[in-house]
Structure 1
Amino acid sequence: MEPKIELRIAELLASRLCHDLISPVGAVNSGIELMTEFGDGPECESMALITSSARTASDCLTSALTEQISGIT
């Protein structure tokens, strides 16, 4: 594969990862802000938001990487 094409694939992958991860990561930040502002304990709704968002971010990353790896082989 030509270096120019490989670079373009890397650019597209990075763009997709950023796009897919921005919402869940933003939700994690919002959950942390809520916990800080209201002093919620670890059993609170904010922790559920953080956990769910972190799982979503991880799933997006895993899915994108799996698609890229399967496309290479």
Structure 2
Amino acid sequence: MKETEKSIFGEQYRVVAVERDRLLVRGILSGAVLTIISTELASPLTPEDYPLGKLIALTDPSTAPLN
């Protein structure tokens, strides 16, 4: 399946909020706000790792090589 231009993986995002298990990011071009929920409660998300305004890109896990 081909990635479309409107894919969430084709845009960059800025961090707008960080909670223990959630990262809120806003798309640079679309303005869409996404909530990324971490399932790794033993490793909480921190503002030190994701400072407000940090530019990030999302990676499509379906394209990652298999182990």
User: What is the TM-score normalised by the length of structure 1?
Assistant: 0.23
Bigger fraction of residues in helix:
1
User: What is the TM-score normalised by the length of structure 2?
Assistant: 0.24
**CA radius of gyration, larger in:** 1
